[in-house]
Amino acid sequence: MHMYNILVVDDEKEITDAIEVYLRNQNYHVFKAYDGKEALEIFEKEAIHLVIIDIMMPRLDGTSTTIKIREKSTVPIIMLSAKSEDMDKIWGLNIGADDYITKPFNPMELLARVNSNLRRYTSYSNPTVMKENTIKIGGVELNDESKEVLIDGEGVKVTPLEYKILYLLMNHPNRVFSIEEIYEKVWKEPAYNPDTVTVHIRRIREKIEINPKEPKYLKVVWGIGYKFEQ
């Protein structure tokens, strides 16, 4: 069993301690930080596989920290936000978090989210099938061997989730997938947080479309879902 390093960042010590207990019981190795600056210092030094981070923190808040981590890494980031901060979680996903969980949270749900994010991340980082597998539609090219996305020949940085959504849609061009269907196929679990799909699609559009407001490839079919147009 791989020993994963998880960085837990929250200025409330009781919360980081509680999360540490749950994660340790699952054989995860835990690093704790109480603000964003401390989190980034640990992130620089240690091989971190997943980050759980609170939005509201002193010195450097969760969103700024997420932006900084995303400049260097595509590790899964789960944001913690209080129930009332609904806009915050959408904002958190916009700037690069993969998932969110609202406080107060159920420990089982937190562990489920950690496990599914790690599972996706590791299957993305170590593709088992090594075959020449390139999908090209218009100017968008996806190489499933190197997990690279090229737009008109230029490489674009995508997170593992963005890659998997693109791969699903490009593998079935012109087929419309509902948001729930995309969530279930990519996240491989029931659609807990389907609004994350919309945000990830918006991020993909910003990376692959010349004009994200008038997409050429990633089209929305109102009331149904999304498709990749050939």
Same domain for 27 and 118?
yes
**What pLDDT was estimated at residue 160?**
84
**What pLDDT was estimated at residue 125?**
59
pTM of the full predicted structure? 0.62
- Which of 125, 155, 175 delimits the end of a domain? 125
**CATH number of domain containing 12:** 3.40.50.2300
Same domain for 117 and 27?
yes
Same domain for 220 and 148?
yes
Each residue's pLDDT, cut to its tens digit, for the chain (230 residues) gives 458 999 999 999 999 999 999 999 988 999 999 999 999 999 999 989 999 999 888 888 888 899 899 888 888 999 988 766 566 666 767 778 888 888 888 888 899 889 888 887 766 655 444 345 788 888 888 888 778 888 888 888 888 889 999 999 988 888 899 999 999 888 888 877 778 888 899 889 999 888 888 889 998 888 888 989 88
Same domain for 38 and 81?
yes
Same domain for 157 and 219?
yes
Same domain for 104 and 168?
no
Distances (CA, A) of 127 to 130, 139, 152, 221: 7, 24, 24, 31
Same domain for 113 and 14?
yes
Angstrom distance (rounded) from CA 199 to CA 98: 10
Same domain for 139 and 181?
yes
Cβ atoms 171, 162 nearer than 8 A: no
Task: List CB contacts of 165: < 8 A, sequence separation 6 or more.
Answer: 182, 186, 197, 200, 201, 204
Same domain for 95 and 152?
no
Domain count, the chain: 2
Cβ atoms 44, 68 nearer than 8 A: no
**What pLDDT was estimated at residue 171?**
86
**CATH number of domain containing 207:** 1.10.10.10
Angstrom distance (rounded) from CA 226 to CA 213: 15
Same domain for 87 and 156?
no
**What pLDDT was estimated at residue 5?**
93
Q: For residue 78, what are the domain limits?
A: 5-125
**What pLDDT was estimated at residue 99?**
87
Helices (H), the chain: 13-25, 36-45, 62-72, 86-94, 107-125, 160-171, 179-187, 195-208
How much is the CA Rg of the chain, to the nearest whole Å?
A: 18
Cβ atoms 134, 141 nearer than 8 A: yes
Same domain for 171 and 121?
no
